Amino acid sequence: MYYTNDSIIYHNGAYMHPEKASGNMYSQTLHYGNGVFEGIRAYKIKFGAKIFKAEEHYERLKYGAQVMGIPCNYSVEELVAITYKLLEKNNLEDAYIRPLLTTGANMSLLTAKESSLTIQCWEWGKYMGDKLLKVKTSRFQRPNPKSCFVEAKVTGHYTNSILSTNEAKNAGYDEALLLDMNGNVAECSGANVFMEKDGKLYTPKRGHIMAGITRSTILEICKEEGFSVEEKHFTLDELKQADSAFFTGTAAEVVGLESLDDYKFPLSWESSLGYKLMKLYKQEVVCERSKKLSEAV
């Protein structure tokens, strides 16, 4: 489902079919989870493909490589250029893009001195779909921020997301919500969370969360549109008294919640700030919102 006979990936300086690429069986990424990745989207606009916030994503990839000690011998500008060329080779404009830095062979626990870069792209709809989500509070917590770099997209961190997703799906839910070590709401398995109460939005503070680029975009839109929003810690009980809630992420974009455990959010999705932000975010990624703002001025 991710590639066809005509698909092309970028792998260590060359463009090739995915089945032509090879990996090292002694890589620390395979054995210990020491790799970093990004999730990026490109959208079709009037003049072709536009990668949304490409520089921010690749800066985060390089940050993750730095904190994990993984060599990354590419500049942000080079990574962006490679990705646009990859989209062109795959004849894609609306696409999901997955860059991955893996480590070389090293069975010790000191980071390997070599790395490999692979960038893939494929057509992929909204990760969580368009329907409102039924969410389960997970028994698994977000990692303690003193145990790792929580804002780096490290491959090994996502075992936490897999455990919580499996738990939720096996119980008949669409998604999982994780708390932090202090019992405050953190995020879902792969996206950030916002709640609406009495016309104001709240989202967890940085520190225990992967503060996503989509989350930052939503905060920017709220400021520009005059929506009241606050970054603060809040508990599960507080979330279960909210009027509405939604998740944000590159793969998920903006998606509303129907319920959390046995609590059904009372405000209709179409009447919520989340619904308005879902529409505004879609305008933002296809470069239509900035045009409308300038016309309004």
Catalytically active residues, by annotation: 153
d(CA 270, CA 272) in angstroms, rounded, equals 6
Token pair belonging to 85 = 């060329």
| Residue-wise DSSP of 58-87 | HHHHHHHHHHHT------HHHHHHHHHHHH
Q: Give per-residue burial for 19-48: e unless 16+ CB within 10 Å, then b.
A: eeeeebeebbbbebebbbbbbbbbbeeeee
- Tell me if 224 sits within 8 A of 293, measured CB to CB: yes
164 DSSP 8-state letter: H
Per the DSSP assignment, residues forming a β-bridge with 175 are 135
For residue 155, give the 3-state DSSP assignment.
helix
Q: Give per-residue burial for 132-160: e unless 16+ CB within 10 Å, then b.
A: bbbbbbbebbbbeeeeebbbbbbbebeeb
CA 88 vs. chain centroid, Å, equals 23
Per the DSSP assignment, residues forming a β-bridge with 91 are none
User: Can you list the pairs that 75-80 forms with residues at least 24 positions away whose Cβ atoms lie under 8 Å?
Assistant: 79/54, 79/119, 80/51, 80/54, 80/55
